[in-house]
Amino acid sequence: MPEPSRSTLRSWLAGPLSADVSAALDRLRTAPDVQHVAVMPDVHLAADVCVGVVVATSHLIYPQAVGSDIGCGMLAVAFDTDASRLADPRVAAGVLAGIGRAVPPARRNRESALPQPPDLTEAPLSHHRLEAARRREGAVEFATLGSGNHFVELQADQDGRLWLMLHTGSRALGQAVRNHHLERAEGVGGTLKALDARTAAGQAYLADASWARRFAHASRTAIAQEVEKVVLALLNAHACWETAIAVDHNHVGLEEHEGRELWVHRKGAMRARTGESGVLPGSMGTASYHVEGRGEGGALCSSAHGAGRLMSRSAARRHVTLKDVSQQMRGVWYDYRHADDLRDEAPSAYKDIRAVIRAQHDLVKVTRTLRPVLNYKGVR
């Protein structure tokens, strides 16, 4: 491995960085072959590499700068109806229950598996262990939501139109890919490990990560189709697929920046090239945004992927009460029976999404503002 170098760093911040985040960014800047680091306003501490960070290299691939939920992302699509249809508590309860049945949080809740596209089932993975994971987990976890910050939300735009926004990723498959290849990566200092894109090992990771990214995208599409069935049955409304916006925020790919081909890793950051549409969620009780990229080179044409955590999960569970959840979710339909499980996902556990938007005004422009109407989260 080459000697450590000191990269350039550009930041778009919604507030001061904690000492832990600053230290993690300094470690990343001096990692071998890191050419440039861009820090998004939703940055927060995570294992090895912070969430809300973009890293460019010339040939080394850092699986930890992508994370375990490879391909995690967002899908938004409008319906041909008005959000006021959910004002009736009985209708809202029916839709919430229907989504809960149609979109299980985990494989143990799955009554029957949904079919996957042939390009997923027929594409080879690099190792028999990953093939076994695909057979074991892939079929039953496809189109499941997961827990934590993954969600299905029905929203209203400024004109009152009903929209779907959902957030989920590659489930156990992305984690299996990350773990398998980290075992084959070389330590480059501290806890960081890297693979060389010019080697067979590096190419194997890139191919498997690309597969996990496609799996996550297909899974989101299948979830959206299941939600459409619920909305059609109860509201007689269809999804308008020509309005769909699909983005992911945990990936690595070869991109050209300032005349150079670089491996751009995004962990909790979405691509935002000039004119490119994106989805920027708030917390489950606050506004979300559709945005359009401005192609800012210093950010490697990137944007925040959401509000970003203000409190760790453990801190949120210490400080956020059931009363806080109830107050902060006022006006949004959700399953109050799971309120205790949602304390670490309460709006106050996240940064102010409006501050995030202001901090990155030169990265994206807002094209649509949406308010939450109904929120469904899987619980552990």
Residues labelled as active-site residues = 305
The one-character DSSP state at 347 is: G
Q: Tokens 């009363």 map to which residue?
A: 323
- Give the separation between CA 354 and CA 4, rounded to whole angstroms: 37
- Give the separation between CA 283 and CA 73, rounded to whole angstroms: 15
Helix, strand, coil share of the chain (percent; to 5):
35, 30, 35
Task: Classify residue 164 as exposed, middle or buried by CB count within 10 Å of its CB (0-12, 13-18, 19+).
Answer: buried
Q: List, in sequence order, every residue forming a beta bridge with 309; answer none if it has no partner.
A: 350
Strand, coil or helix: 110 = coil
325's tokens: 């959840």
The one-character DSSP state at 58 is: S
109 backbone dihedrals φ, ψ, rounded to 5°? -95, 0
**What are the Cα distances from residue 62, in Å, to 172, 209, 261?**
19, 12, 16
Q: Which of 16, 62, 4, 58 is nearest to 41 (CA)?
A: 16
CA atoms within 13 A on the CB side of 196: 6
In contact, 280 and 300? CB cutoff 8 Å = no
The radius of gyration of the chain's CA atoms, rounded to the nearest angstrom, is 20
45's tokens: 């501490």
- Give the separation between CA 194 and CA 188, rounded to whole angstroms: 7
CA atoms within 13 A on the CB side of 348: 16
